[in-house]
Amino acid sequence: MRQNTCMNRFWPLSVVGAVAMAAIASPAADDVVGLRQADMKAMAAAAKTISGMFRDPASYKAGEFKWAADTIRDRSGAVLSGHFASEAASPQSKAKPNILKERERFDRIANDLRDYAIALDAAAENNPGPMTASMRMKPGEAMGGGPLGTHVRNEQKLSAMPAEHAFHLMLQTCTTCHVRFRME
């Protein structure tokens, strides 16, 4: 009985603490610009993590690689599109107003980003030990992608390509989106 009383007495403090930490850690729900900027920063940090592992394959850790890919996956696709569902104009925003006019194109780019992140997640799942040669691009292998390049939307082709190739396509997708939909 005494143990339950003690637990009940401290439980509200832990709930209050968790709520306070959540409020500090994330922007207010009505601050869409702040939320999407936080998501963009998280995706950029995740991409840097993956990039570092391709630069130095000895630093590859499947769990960290997967976490980075999942971070991008969870903030792209419909989530990213949702952040730009209404008027993008705001003094804090770097988004161009053409997102709403070119909704289909923006959504397609957001979904491409998600698909490449899913492919990277699968690569981490399939390579739990050191980074394998199958994850790396071969010398002279064409990258495709880019604003005028091809986009891999076929899941079978995407899962068959080296993870490094999917990563480059993902980075080109980011660049394409920023060129088209972000102010300098």
Radius of gyration for the chain, computed over Cα atoms and rounded to the nearest angstrom? 20
Dist CA 171 CA 44 (whole Å): 10
Q: Please tell us whether the domain made up of 31-181 is placed in CATH 1.10.3720.10.
A: no
| Predicted local confidence at residue 165, as pLDDT | 92
Asked whether residue 159 carries a pLDDT value surpassing 50, the answer given is: yes
| Predicted local confidence at residue 86, as pLDDT | 76
Average pLDDT over residues 49-68: 98
Question: Across the chain, what does the average pLDDT equal?
Answer: 81
Q: Where are the domains of the chain?
A: 31-181
Dist CA 7 CA 99 (whole Å): 51
- If pLDDT is split at 50, 70 and 90, which confidence band does 152 have? low
